[in-house]
């Protein structure tokens, strides 16, 4: 359960990072890596085909399993307002029995279908990035899940792939705890249904998000 929560947190971190990277390159033209500044400032949209998120859950103390969310959506406006949405029903742990249980008992997707990440970014701070350049920044964001919201901070790496494309990745796995979003009962239900002794409540999440200017 906590794994899912952490996974969401990671998602959120990834969305915020992408927003920060959205900026124009106006470095000195004498530089070989100079990227001409583009007048169009936004918006930026998540390239879903080249983006991804994964998380790891631990059960029985030492059995690790990898899961992902297949449906992600994200945008960043020209003035730095970023929003990232995770469709929880798209969860995929490569287990046709476990996935429906997580939707029904853990996340309760009939009532809470999405996980959201929102942030306001200072795009000017990244305006002078050159193509191929990478920067690390501390991202502050609001994570919404299961009817609850939490203010979070995570370090993300932003890489400028081109004039209109940026990559945002977490510098280290983002850890999410089920208790932070009221998911303890859901985790316990999953443990009971699977006949397990324990499910680790903390989950590490990683993400790689590509944003393109539209």
| Predicted pLDDT of residue 133 | 96
pLDDT at 182 over 70: yes
Query: What average pLDDT does the segment 1-12 reach?
Result: 41
**DSSP secondary structure string, the chain?**
-HHHHHHHHHHHHHHHHHHHH-------TTSTT-----S----EEE-GGG-EEEEEEEETTTEEEEEEES-EEEEE-TTSEEEEEEEGGGEE-S-TTHHHHIIIIII-TTT--EEEEEEE--GGGGTTPPTT-EEEEEEEEEEEETTEEEEEEEEEEEEEEETTEEEEEESSPEEEEGGGGT-HHHHHHHHHHHT-S-B-SEEEEEEEEEEEE-
- Domain ranges within the chain, ordered by starting residue: 2-213
Listed in sequence order, the residues at least 6 apart from 158 whose beta carbon sits closer than 8 Å to its beta carbon are 17, 18, 20, 21, 126, 129, 134, 135, 136, 137, 166, 167, 168
Work out the mean pLDDT of the chain and round it to a whole number.
84
pLDDT at 151 over 50: yes
Quick one: pLDDT band at residue 31, thresholds 50, 70, 90?
A: very low
pLDDT at 175 over 60: yes
Whole-angstrom distance, CA of residue 204 vs CA of residue 6 = 6
User: What pTM did the predictor assign?
Assistant: 0.78
Quick one: pLDDT band at residue 108, thresholds 50, 70, 90?
A: very high
| Predicted pLDDT of residue 123 | 84
Percentage above 90 pLDDT, the chain: 72
Which residue would you say has higher pLDDT here, 199 or 18?
A: 199
Quick one: pLDDT band at residue 126, thresholds 50, 70, 90?
A: confident
Fold of 2-213: Lipocalin (2.40.128)
| Predicted pLDDT of residue 13 | 42
Which residue would you say has higher pLDDT here, 178 or 32?
A: 178
| Predicted pLDDT of residue 41 | 52
Cβ contact 76:19 at 8 Å: yes
**Model confidence over 37-74: pLDDT tens digits?**
433 456 899 999 999 999 999 999 999 999 999 999 99
Q: Sign (positive/negative) of CA torsion 61, 4, 71, 156?
A: negative
Question: Out of 2-11, 80-89, 102-111, which region has the weakest mean confidence (pLDDT)?
Answer: 2-11
Which residue would you say has higher pLDDT here, 124 or 147?
A: 147
Listed in sequence order, the residues at least 6 apart from 180 whose beta carbon sits closer than 8 Å to its beta carbon are 5, 148, 150
């Amino acid at each position: 359960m906590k794994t899912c929560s952490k996974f969401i947190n990671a998602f959120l971190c990834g969305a915020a990072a992408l927003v920060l990277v959205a900026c124009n390159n106006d470095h000195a033209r004498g530089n070989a890596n100079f990227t001409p500044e583009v007048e169009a400032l936004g918006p930026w949209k998540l390239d879903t085909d080249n983006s991804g998120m994964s998380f790891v859950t631990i059960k029985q103390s030492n059995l690790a399993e990898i899961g992902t969310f297949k449906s992600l959506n994200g945008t960043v406006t020209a003035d730095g307002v970023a929003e990232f949405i995770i469709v929880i029903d798209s969860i995929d742990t490569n287990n046709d029995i476990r996935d429906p249980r997580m939707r029904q008992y853990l996340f309760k997707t009939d009532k809470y279908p999405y996980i959201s990440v929102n942030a306001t970014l200072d795009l000017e701070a990244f305006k002078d990035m050159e193509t191929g350049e990478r920067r690390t920044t501390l991202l502050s964001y609001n994570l919404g899940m299961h009817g609850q919201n939490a203010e979070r901070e995570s370090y993300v790496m932003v890489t400028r792939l081109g004039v209109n494309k940026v990559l945002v990745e977490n510098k280290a796995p983002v850890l999410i705890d089920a208790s932070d979003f009221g998911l303890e009962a859901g985790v316990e239900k999953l443990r009971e249904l699977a006949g397990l002794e324990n499910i680790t409540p903390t989950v590490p999440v990683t993400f790689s998000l590509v944003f393109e200017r539209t």
